[in-house]
Structure 1
């Protein structure tokens, strides 16, 4: 009997099971992140916010990535991947629970605080789970493997708009001025219903996150030799940042997440605007938001196959150019053409985050954790780019604001063709 073959077989089987278990985490953080796209129109109307004020939802959520990714990296270095994943799920669960008092008090600042805690948990998951999947097999297939895992993230973002639209946007939103004109009893009843529309979905999320944390704790995830445990991540952030492909990859992640979040944040309002949706309601627009994220799901499934045949840097550059063309159509046209061009962006966004991430941590060895922390810090692009797009929307119109993401994808194309090759 060939014992070495049997050992290899058990290793492959264990790796496959571990990959399957970890992808459930990708689904959850995709679902949670995309719910922000439903919260924005809900809270914008409820609190009578400007676009800049409403985009604070994304600034708070993604700002946590910048502030908490270094502590998250240290946590991963100290606890290892498995325990850090469990901790991240627990922190995210606490953040979801905090939506209950925020909605009951009807205070916008409390919503932002709950989002920050929730995003802190997601930050820990990003720092731990992304490199874990990338390292869970041969380096030459890391982009394909991470893209396949990220397809579950896209499944979460596809489902979230439908669930959020049904549970959160089902009632017609009313501003504070409108409520002041209602009888006191009717206004109180509306506030109670509005609070419940947010409380129950996030309570359900907290329960699911707790159950998933227990499942991960009981499952035996294989360790990654040479990438975690004692000695992992001791090289320091500066040493990792000194590598050109990491440094440029940080800016690529910043641009990608900033552009993706900006587009997703305004989709409901853009698609339901008179010149585009032609009478479409906000709840109906959530179905097209689901198609936008569903395109990312299809793109990642197809992209995982394409990345086994086409060099990752080349495919990334091609997809970036395709998105720029679609954004040009979104800005220059109206009606169905503008509607379907913006929805189609999701298809080509699909491979970008996992591909940039895998390219950014390539050949980093024991510095993988530090490089991962830097790349996750760059997700702060989702905090900074949306308010800038909101400012353009407030002053020059929502449609013209789509010009800002064009610049982001232009840099991604540069990174793909010039900046992503490791010089080690």
Structure 2
């Protein structure tokens, strides 16, 4: 009973962390158009905001997994929270300097903290109970991650986006002093929100430092060798999960990051209204999809739902690309509902049956989300190469979802490696 109670407390506390990295990822659709204005960027240049975040994931995930393997789950969480806090506070001097590179560095550090948290929290959640319920448990935790998907666009749209959208021609007619004042005004709007974020994370860090979490001990491989090695790549379902996660995250990031640009291009929707639509409908749909997906997994295999949701998004994106007006915009808004289960489902299927090796596998799967660094840039290049036609760039996530569908097919009849886990 005591063990179950400690697991419940740990589950509740660690689930709260899911909000933090969700916030980091879902504020990017606000940061991209905002810094595009404040730092006068092209579509391709603005996509480096995503690249900074996901490149950090790629570079930090393996050290985070090694740290977790050597020093345990709790110490890894503390390091993650510290880095996240530092990165958030660095937004203040970055805004004062109005330096795009400084913003990217702050994002990189903040994302490094989120990488520690995500690398640790995902496998930790799967271990807090029966192995058979791992995918369901992770989807439940990720459901609260959905709260961190809804809030950033709404708060960011209100307190970061100014609603002032000058055309290039209007900017060119401004005097140097007026232009500098306008750009400084846009950059400075970001200071207070990130000071608040840094303060909140600092409080969470103190809470985790004071509370005792159960450290789950897992059985080592036969022979007593450490499983923190490249031998994990011998598992075929794990290798395929890496590929699927790479493409899925690329699709998820690209769809959200350029939505405000897309809404203006297709339907001439102002940035504040577009941010509200994304937060209040698309991200609420994403959160609802997590709960609905968790419920549906009582009746359908996770791989079956993954295939069905991937194909649905291919169809919705086809409408978003080739239709116009409200139909196109709302088709795109509907995609997050069907993206909702993809990350946790791919993750759980990828580490299924890996036992102690799930720690290193978790690091590699988190590294694979570096797809979020590449596909938005590819979308920006497609847009810039076609005179700013951001609608056409949504062909890129179509390809990504087809890869996710293929991964789901490979998992329908897979025989996962079974490794005994001692709690």
TM-score (norm 2): 0.92
Count residues in correspondence: 411
Offset of 1:180 from its aligned partner? Answer: 7.5
Offset of 1:271 from its aligned partner? Answer: 1.1
Q: Is the partner of 2:72 in helix, strand or coil?
A: helix
Greater than 4 Å deviation, 4+ residue runs: 173-189
Moved more, 143-152 or 347-356: 143-152
Offset of 1:235 from its aligned partner? Answer: 2.0
Contact 2:249 2:372 in 1 (8 A): yes
Contact 2:321 2:391 in 1 (8 A): yes
Matched, 1:51 2:43: yes
Moved more, 218-227 or 182-191: 182-191
Moved more, 214-223 or 51-60: 214-223
Deviations 1:157-182 (A, max 9, x none): 11100100111102515589866755
> Which residue pairs with 2:374 in the alignment?
384
Of 336, 340, 353, the residue aligned with 2:330 is 340
> Which residue pairs with 2:273 in the alignment?
284
Contact 1:296 1:348 in 2 (8 A): yes
Counterpart-to-counterpart distance in 1, 2:363 and 2:138? 17
Of 68, 79, 92, the residue aligned with 1:87 is 79
Counterpart-to-counterpart distance in 2, 1:153 and 1:233? 35
> Which residue pairs with 2:212 in the alignment?
220
Task: Structure 1: state its 5+ residue gaps.
Answer: 1-6
> Which residue pairs with 2:202 in the alignment?
210
Q: Specify whether residues 232 and 57 from structure 1 end up closer, same or farther in structure 2 by C-alpha distance, changes over 3 A only.
A: farther
Counterpart-to-counterpart distance in 2, 1:43 and 1:324? 30
Of 32, 37, 41, the residue aligned with 2:24 is 32
Moved more, 182-191 or 11-20: 182-191
Q: Is the partner of 1:363 in helix, strand or coil?
A: coil
> Which residue pairs with 1:76 in the alignment?
68
Deviations 1:356-400 (A, max 9, x none): 001111111111111001100001000011101111111232111
Offset of 1:232 from its aligned partner? Answer: 10
Counterpart-to-counterpart distance in 2, 1:199 and 1:262? 25
Contact 1:256 1:408 in 2 (8 A): yes
Contact 2:352 2:416 in 1 (8 A): no
| Aligned residue runs from structure 1 range 4-403, under 5 A | 7=1, 10-173=2-165, 182=174, 186=178, 189-226=181-218, 234-273=226-265, 276-277=266-267, 279-290=268-279, 291-396=281-386, 397-403=389-395
Q: Is the partner of 1:310 in helix, strand or coil?
A: coil
TM-score (norm 1): 0.92
> Which residue pairs with 1:4 in the alignment?
none
